[in-house]
Amino acid sequence: MALPSPVPITLFGATSTSGQALIELARGRSLVVAGRRPALPPAGGGDPPPFLPCDLEDACGESRAPKGVLVSFAPIWTFAPWLARFAGDNPAGFAALQGVIACSSSSVITKRFAANRFDRDLVQRLGQAEDQLTLTCTSHARPLHILAPTLIYGQAGPLGDRNLSKLRQLLRRLPLLPLPGQGGLRQPIHCRQLAAVALHLADRLPLAGGDPSHQVHLPLGGDETLAYATMLRRLQDASAPGDAARRCRLLALPPRLFQSLAAPLLLLSPKNFEALLRMSADLAGFTPAHRILGGPPEPFPVLPLAR
Ligand X SMILES: NC(=O)c1ccc[n+]([C@@H]2O[C@H](COP(=O)([O-])OP(=O)(O)OC[C@H]3O[C@@H](n4cnc5c(N)ncnc54)[C@H](OP(=O)(O)O)[C@@H]3O)[C@@H](O)[C@H]2O)c1
Q: Which residues bind ligand X (CB under 6 A)?
A: 12-19, 35-37, 55-57, 73-76, 78, 103, 105, 149, 151-152, 163
Q: How far is the CB of 13 from ligand X (least distance, A)?
A: 4
* Contact criterion met (CB below 8 Å) for 142 and 215: no
Angle, CA of 25, 31 and 33, to the nearest 5°: 105
Nearer to ligand X, 74 or 232 (CB): 74
> Which helix (H) or strand (E) segment is 103 a member of?
strand 99-103
Output the DSSP codes for 59-106.
PPPGGG---SEEEE-S-HHHHHHHHHHHHHH-HHHHHT--EEEEE--T
Nearer to ligand X, 198 or 258 (CB): 198
Cis peptide before 49 (omega within 30 of 0): no
User: What distance in Å separates the CA atoms of residue 92 and residue 52, rounded to the nearest whole number?
Assistant: 19
Nearer to ligand X, 124 or 163 (CB): 163
Q: How far is the CB of 130 from ligand X (least distance, A)?
A: 12
Q: How far is the CB of 15 from ligand X (least distance, A)?
A: 3
The candidate with the shortest Cα–Cα distance to 102, out of 81, 88, 124, is 81
Nearer to ligand X, 16 or 155 (CB): 16
Q: How far is the CB of 69 from ligand X (least distance, A)?
A: 16
Return the DSSP state at 283.
B
Nearer to ligand X, 75 or 143 (CB): 75
Q: How far is the CB of 76 from ligand X (least distance, A)?
A: 6
In this structure, which amino acid lies at residue 118? F
Nearer to ligand X, 150 or 239 (CB): 150
The candidate with the shortest Cα–Cα distance to 7, out of 168, 166, 203, is 203
Q: How far is the CB of 147 from ligand X (least distance, A)?
A: 8
